[in-house]
């Protein structure tokens, strides 16, 4: 029997959790909800390297993951997972295979609620 409430957040890129629903995630965490973030990519195709430049294109994914881990700590996300889809290529992935992978996580986490978005 599941006693603690669970929230699954499924988003495309590192930083989406902060920009799109950070307040909601933090509030749910404060209320004792266990939060899992499933991030599709590692944001490796991001265009901004900083000003002054703080990273290289090659090192960007590692930096984005580290920033995401820190954001998870601040927001109260206790479980971070990746689909490991290459950034900017999700439209070339099999919809059925992606859906199957997400459903697998849903079945494992058994969330009471799910947060995601569609940009159109």
Question: Any idea where the domains of the chain sit in the sequence?
Answer: 6-115
User: What whole-number distance in Å separates Cα of residue 50 and Cα of residue 67?
Assistant: 14
pLDDT tens digits, 16-50:
999 999 999 999 999 999 999 999 999 887 767 67
What average pLDDT does the structure give for the chain?
A: 91
pLDDT tens digits, 47-64:
676 777 777 878 888 999
Instruction: State whether the Cα torsion 7-13-18-20 is positive or negative.
Output: negative
- pLDDT confidence of residue 64: 92
18 by DSSP, 3-state: which? helix
CATH 3.40.50.10320 fits 6-115, yes or no: yes
Give every strand in the sheet of 79-82, ordered side by side: 79-82, 34-39, 6-11, 113-115
């Amino acid at each position: 029997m599941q006693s603690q409430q669970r929230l699954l957040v499924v988003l495309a890129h590192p930083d989406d959790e902060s920009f799109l629903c950070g307040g909601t995630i933090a509030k749910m965490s404060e209320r004792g909800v266990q939060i899992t973030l499933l991030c599709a990519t590692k944001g490796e195709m991001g265009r901004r390297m900083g000003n002054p430049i703080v990273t290289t294109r090659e090192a960007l994914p590692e930096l984005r993951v580290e920033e995401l881990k820190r954001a998870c700590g601040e927001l109260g996300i206790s479980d971070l997972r990746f689909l490991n889809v290459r950034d900017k290529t999700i439209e070339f992935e099999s919809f059925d295979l992606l859906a199957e992978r997400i459903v697998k996580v849903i079945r494992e986490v058994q969330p009471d609620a799910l947060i995601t978005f569609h940009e159109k």
